[in-house]
Amino acid sequence: MLTVTPPDSKPQDASTEVPGSPVGTGPLPPGPNVAVAMPGAGVADPDDLVSTEKTPTLVDRVQAFRAKYEKQEMALFFFAGFLYDVLTLSPVDDALTEVQNFVYLAILAGLLVLEQRYPEGVEPPKLLAKVWRFREDALHFFLGSLLSAFTLFLFKSSSGLTPLLFMAGMFGLLVANELPRFRQLGPVIRVAVFSLCVTLYFASLLPVLFGRVGWWIFTLSVLLGCGSVYGLLRVLKRWRPDEKALLRTVAVPGFGAQALLLGCYFLGVIPPVPLAVQYSGIYHQVKRVSPGVYHLTSEAQPWWKVWTAFHHGDQDFTVRPGEQPMYFFRIFAPKGFEPYRVRVRWYYDHPEKGWTALGKGFLASVSSNGSEGGYRYYAQPGTTPKPGDWRVVLETEAGHEINRLNFTVTEDTRTEPRPERVDVSVLKVTKPLPLEEWQKLQPPPAPATAPAAATAP
């Protein structure tokens, strides 16, 4: 059988070409930037092979960075608002502070309404288009600022971990608001926090306006907070007629927050803002030496007891027969506040019964003296304390705690005089001054004038 081979063909194994090498008489292999015409295909324009991607601007890079670290940005703006109030917060009765907090609440209410009016996917008005992307940052900043202000007021009016736990709870709510599961529920968390802020605002403002504290003042604050939630509902109903959705996202969290605050108040968790103890300490002796000047005597501690540098007076109280600890405090109330009464209670940590109250306490009548340092007072338990752990608590007549101070009592078996330290409490300085430092601040006595010489008649 004959096999016919085309005259120009060669067996594959007989080819003289080296794979990967150019043929001597053929064209050079195409390079990476050379356009090659393939059979059946159009010729590519070399300009089409040049990247035309737009170089990102500084604004584009900033937006990409913000999108990448969205959660961290939320925390940053929250704590920026907190730090701002820590550095700039004025006393609770400062008119500018109250006006500033009211403006913040109004801005927050407006942002909440606009977010519901223009949800995701809906274009905002041209007037808001350029700043609309910053609404999240603004919400977190103003919420952080308001919560920090009210937490600082609570911190000044109470003792213990209550304000810190409150702050941790608020920050936890804001973090939960960023989780997808909570985001699907709508503005539930933000409405709850806004509702809390409104009531705490009135709880700090109304006592200043009325010059007193009491359950009816806080109840009125809660009613005003409920009114703000109801107003928010009425406004949102114009754009979102779905009553079930509004009930779930606005009414339940808003009114639920009010019920929670009212319950916490009657349980004694929320302190009586704006009353605040500026300073308190335990001393062996308190003596008024001149108008506005008190000498506070405590036992001088040796240098190696470094922890006593953080004590207020004799928190390591050594007792001799017939001695009693003296609880010295200065309490602040806004200017024009009506006279009120506070109760001093003494508690002993009984080895078998635990913390046991010593009697029903002592009622003290105090008033506002118009000084930020506060009104000064001191009290005794009425008996020589037993060795052990003790606690003195200052509270309102209704039972809301304002201040507490723990101290330890040990028996003093020495007979020689104690080494003493004397501090001086003056009207306009909150913390007592060491006697030596106070004496340096006093003006030198005027030199005695010599009697005039008799003149000759």
Question: Per-residue pLDDT tens for 121-171?
Answer: 677 777 777 777 778 778 877 877 787 778 778 777 777 666 667 667 766
Higher pLDDT, 369 or 52: 369
- What pLDDT score was predicted for residue 14? 42
Rounded to the nearest integer, the mean pLDDT of the chain is: 80
Dihedral angle of Cα 278, 280, 285, 288, to the nearest 10 degrees:
10
Higher pLDDT, 2 or 330: 330
* In contact, 385 and 348? CB cutoff 8 Å: yes
**pLDDT greater than 80 at residue 266:** yes
pLDDT digits (tens, 9 = 90+) for 97-131: 889 899 999 999 998 888 877 776 677 777 777 77
**pLDDT greater than 60 at residue 227:** yes
pLDDT digits (tens, 9 = 90+) for 359-398: 889 999 998 876 777 899 999 999 999 999 999 999 998 8
- What pLDDT score was predicted for residue 15? 41
- Most confidently modeled of 87-96, 121-130, 284-293? 284-293
**pLDDT greater than 50 at residue 33:** no
- In this structure, of 43-52, 75-84, 336-345, the range with the lowest mean pLDDT score is 43-52
pLDDT digits (tens, 9 = 90+) for 293-320: 999 999 998 888 888 888 999 999 999 9
Under the banding of pLDDT at 50, 70 and 90, the label for residue 412 is: very high
**pLDDT greater than 50 at residue 5:** no
Tell me the pTM: 0.72
- In this structure, of 235-239, 288-292, 356-360, the range with the lowest mean pLDDT score is 235-239
- What pLDDT score was predicted for residue 451? 53
**pLDDT greater than 70 at residue 51:** no
In order, the DSSP letters of 385-450 are PPSEEEEEEEEETTS-EEEEEEEEEEE----SPPPEEEEEE-SS-SS-EEHHHHHHHSPPPPPPPP
Under the banding of pLDDT at 50, 70 and 90, the label for residue 189 is: confident
Express as a percent the part of the chain with pLDDT over 90.
39
**pLDDT greater than 50 at residue 12:** no
Residue 36 in tokens: 């090659």
pLDDT digits (tens, 9 = 90+) for 372-382: 778 999 999 99
- In this structure, of 183-192, 224-233, 344-353, 404-413, the range with the lowest mean pLDDT score is 183-192
Residue 45 in tokens: 């324009």
Burial 214-244 (b: 16+ CB within 10 A, else e): beebbeebbebbbebbeebbeebeeebeeee
**pLDDT greater than 90 at residue 52:** no
Higher pLDDT, 292 or 120: 292
**pLDDT greater than 90 at residue 450:** no
DSSP type of residue 158: -
**pLDDT greater than 50 at residue 69:** yes
Under the banding of pLDDT at 50, 70 and 90, the label for residue 29 is: low
In order, the DSSP letters of 232-260 are HHHHHTTT---HHHHIIIIIHHHHHHHHH
- What pLDDT score was predicted for residue 94? 84
φ, ψ for residue 345, nearest 5 deg: -120, 140
* In contact, 274 and 217? CB cutoff 8 Å: no
- What pLDDT score was predicted for residue 90? 73
CA distance 272 to 399: 10
